[in-house]
Structure 1
Amino acid sequence: MVNFKEINFEGKDMLTVYLNGREVLSTIRIENLKNPDDDKNLIFNLGISIVNIKKTDVKSLYIKIKDPFHFIFESINFMSNIKSEDLPSSLSILKPFSVLTSGCQSWSKGFEYLLTENQTNIRLRKDLLRFIKSDYEPKIVKKGKFVSSFFMHFIERFPSEKAITVISTNHIYPTTFIYDKKENSLYIDLGLRKEQIDDGFIINWIYFCFENSSSELQENLKFLFSDHLKRNLSMLEKFEIFDKSTEHIYGWESWYNYYTNVNEKVVIENLEKLSSFFNKKTVFQIDDGWEKVVGQWEQDIEKFPTPLEKLSDTISKSLSVPGIWIAPLALLKDSKIYHEKKEWILRNYYGKPVVCGNVPLWGGDFYTFDLSIQDVRDFIVEQIDLLIEKYRFSYIKLDFLYCGLLDGIFKNAGHGSAYYYNLFMEELVKKVNDRAILLGCGAFLQLSFPYFQVMRIGADTKEKWEYSLAKIAGYEGRPSAYMSLTDTIARSILNKTVFFSDPDVCFFRKSKTKLNDDEKFLINIVNYIAGSQIMISDDLDDIDMNLKEKVFAFYEFLNLKNFYIRRCFKKDLYFLYDDKKQIFGFINLSNRKYTFKKADFKLIFFDHEISKLFVYHYDFEKKIYQSEVENICIKPHQIIFWQKDFG
Structure 2
Amino acid sequence: MAIPSLIYRSFLKLFPRASIEVKSGNTRASQPLEPIEHDRHLGYSNEYVSLRIERADRGAATHYRLRLKNLQTKSLRITRLRFPGWRGLDDLLDNYNPARISFFRNGHQSWSTSRSYRMTEKPLRPRLRLVSLVTSNLANLPSNAPGVLSSEMYTVVSDLDDDQAILVGQCEPFNQFVYIMLHLHPERPRSSFFEIVYDFGRKVLAPGQEIELDGLLFLSGDAGDIVDQYFSLLAPLRRPASRERVGWCSWYQYYDRINPELLLENLRLLKGSGLKADFFQIDDGWQAAVGDWLVERAAFKGRMAELAAAIRQAGYTPGLWLAPFALSAKSRLFREHPEYIVRDSGGATLVAGYNPIWKGLYYGLDLTHPRCREYIAEFIHRVVHEWGYSYLKCDFLFAACLRGANHHDIGLSRAEILKSGMSLIREAAGNDVGILGCGMPLSAGIGSVEAMRIGPDTGDFWIRPESFLLRTGAMVGLRNSLRATLTRAPMHGTLWVNDPDCVMARARGTRLSAAERRAQLDVVALSGGLVTISDDLSILYPADFEELAQHIELSERCSYGRAIALDAMDRELPEQFYNSAGFIGFFNWGQARKEASYSLTRLKKREPLLAALVDMRSGKRYEALAQSIAFGFMPKRGSILLRIERDEP
- Normalised to the residue count of structure 1, the TM-score between the two structures is 0.82
1:354 counterpart = 2:350? yes
Question: Structure 1 residues 94 and 452, CA, compared in 2 at 3 Å: closer, same or farther?
Answer: farther
1:65 pairs with 76, 85, 105, which one?
85
1:194 counterpart = 2:214? no
2: distance between equivalents of 1:297 and 1:129? 27
1:44 pairs with 44, 62, 68, which one?
62
Contact 1:345 1:370 (C-alpha < 8 Å) held by counterparts: yes
SS of corresponding position for 1:59 = strand
Alignment match, 1:432: 429
Question: Structure 1 residues 11 and 380, CA, compared in 2 at 3 Å: closer, same or farther?
Answer: closer
Alignment match, 2:482: 485
- Measured against aligned partners, the alpha-carbon deviations of 1:90-135 in whole angstroms (never above 9, x if no partner) come to xx99987322211110111111223x33342223322222101224
Alignment match, 1:444: 441
2:455 pairs with 443, 455, 458, which one?
458
1: distance between equivalents of 2:95 and 2:438? 38
2:236 pairs with 209, 216, 226, which one?
226
Amino acid corresponding to residue 417 of structure 2 in structure 1: Y
Deviates more, 1:483-492 or 1:295-304: 295-304
Spell out the pairing of 1:124-273 with structure 2 (5 A cutoff). 124-138=127-141, 140-157=143-160, 160=163, 163-182=166-185, 183-196=191-204, 202-212=212-222, 214=224, 217-228=227-238, 231-233=239-241, 236-237=242-243, 241=244, 249-273=245-269
Alignment match, 1:635: 635
1: distance between equivalents of 2:398 and 2:309? 31
Alignment match, 2:55: 30
1:370 counterpart = 2:366? yes
Residue 491 of structure 1: how far off its partner (Å): 0.8
Contact 1:614 1:642 (C-alpha < 8 Å) held by counterparts: no
SS of corresponding position for 1:513 = coil
Contact 1:571 1:590 (C-alpha < 8 Å) held by counterparts: no
Residue 386 of structure 1: how far off its partner (Å): 1.1
- Measured against aligned partners, the alpha-carbon deviations of 1:531-590 in whole angstroms (never above 9, x if no partner) come to 51000111112124334434544555673353320237554342233448x754422333
Amino acid corresponding to residue 179 of structure 1 in structure 2: L
Contact 1:158 1:605 (C-alpha < 8 Å) held by counterparts: no
1: distance between equivalents of 2:466 and 2:196? 35
Question: Structure 1 residues 592 and 156, CA, compared in 2 at 3 Å: closer, same or farther?
Answer: farther
Alignment match, 1:14: 14
Alignment match, 2:114: 110
Return 5+ residue gaps in structure 1 as ranges: 1-6, 35-41, 74-91, 242-248
- Measured against aligned partners, the alpha-carbon deviations of 1:189-238 in whole angstroms (never above 9, x if no partner) come to 1112322456876545111233447356324412323242xx322xx24x
2:508 pairs with 508, 511, 529, which one?
511
Contact 1:525 1:551 (C-alpha < 8 Å) held by counterparts: no
2: distance between equivalents of 1:385 and 1:156? 51
SS of corresponding position for 2:310 = helix
Contact 1:60 1:191 (C-alpha < 8 Å) held by counterparts: yes
Residue 632 of structure 1: how far off its partner (Å): 4.5
Residue 10 of structure 1: how far off its partner (Å): 6.4
SS of corresponding position for 1:507 = coil
Amino acid corresponding to residue 540 of structure 1 in structure 2: L
2: distance between equivalents of 1:645 and 1:532? 23
- Measured against aligned partners, the alpha-carbon deviations of 1:241-299 in whole angstroms (never above 9, x if no partner) come to 3xxxxxxx100000000001011111001101213445434210000000111111145
Alignment match, 1:626: 621
Alignment match, 2:577: 576
Contact 2:104 2:569 (C-alpha < 8 Å) held by counterparts: no
Amino acid corresponding to residue 188 of structure 1 in structure 2: I
Spell out the pairing of 1:471-620 with structure 2 (5 A cutoff). 471-550=468-547, 552-553=549-550, 556=553, 559-560=557-558, 561-565=561-565, 566-567=567-568, 569=570, 571-579=572-580, 584-596=584-596, 616-617=614-615
Question: Structure 1 residues 642 and 484, CA, compared in 2 at 3 Å: closer, same or farther?
Answer: same
2: distance between equivalents of 1:431 and 1:283? 21
Residue 142 of structure 1: how far off its partner (Å): 4.3
Question: Structure 1 residues 179 and 502, CA, compared in 2 at 3 Å: closer, same or farther?
Answer: same
Amino acid corresponding to residue 232 of structure 1 in structure 2: P
Spell out the pairing of 1:306-455 with structure 2 (5 A cutoff). 307-406=303-402, 407-455=404-452
1: distance between equivalents of 2:420 and 2:644? 53
Deviates more, 1:271-280 or 1:455-464: 271-280
Residue 512 of structure 1: how far off its partner (Å): 1.9
1: distance between equivalents of 2:482 and 2:416? 32
Contact 2:164 2:220 (C-alpha < 8 Å) held by counterparts: no
Corresponding pairs, count: 593
- Normalised to the residue count of structure 2, the TM-score between the two structures is 0.82
Amino acid corresponding to residue 635 of structure 1 in structure 2: P
Question: Structure 1 residues 586 and 482, CA, compared in 2 at 3 Å: closer, same or farther?
Answer: same
2: distance between equivalents of 1:435 and 1:585? 35
Contact 2:486 2:577 (C-alpha < 8 Å) held by counterparts: no
2: distance between equivalents of 1:414 and 1:52? 13
1: distance between equivalents of 2:266 and 2:644? 43
RMSD: 3.4
Deviates more, 1:429-438 or 1:99-108: 429-438
Question: Structure 1 residues 324 and 495, CA, compared in 2 at 3 Å: closer, same or farther?
Answer: same
Residue 403 of structure 1: how far off its partner (Å): 0.3
2: distance between equivalents of 1:170 and 1:187? 21
Residue 513 of structure 1: how far off its partner (Å): 0.8
Question: What percent identity do the matched residue pairs reach?
Answer: 20
- Measured against aligned partners, the alpha-carbon deviations of 1:23-82 in whole angstroms (never above 9, x if no partner) come to 313424322112xxxxxxx12211345689546431321222316988789xxxxxxxxx
SS of corresponding position for 2:466 = helix
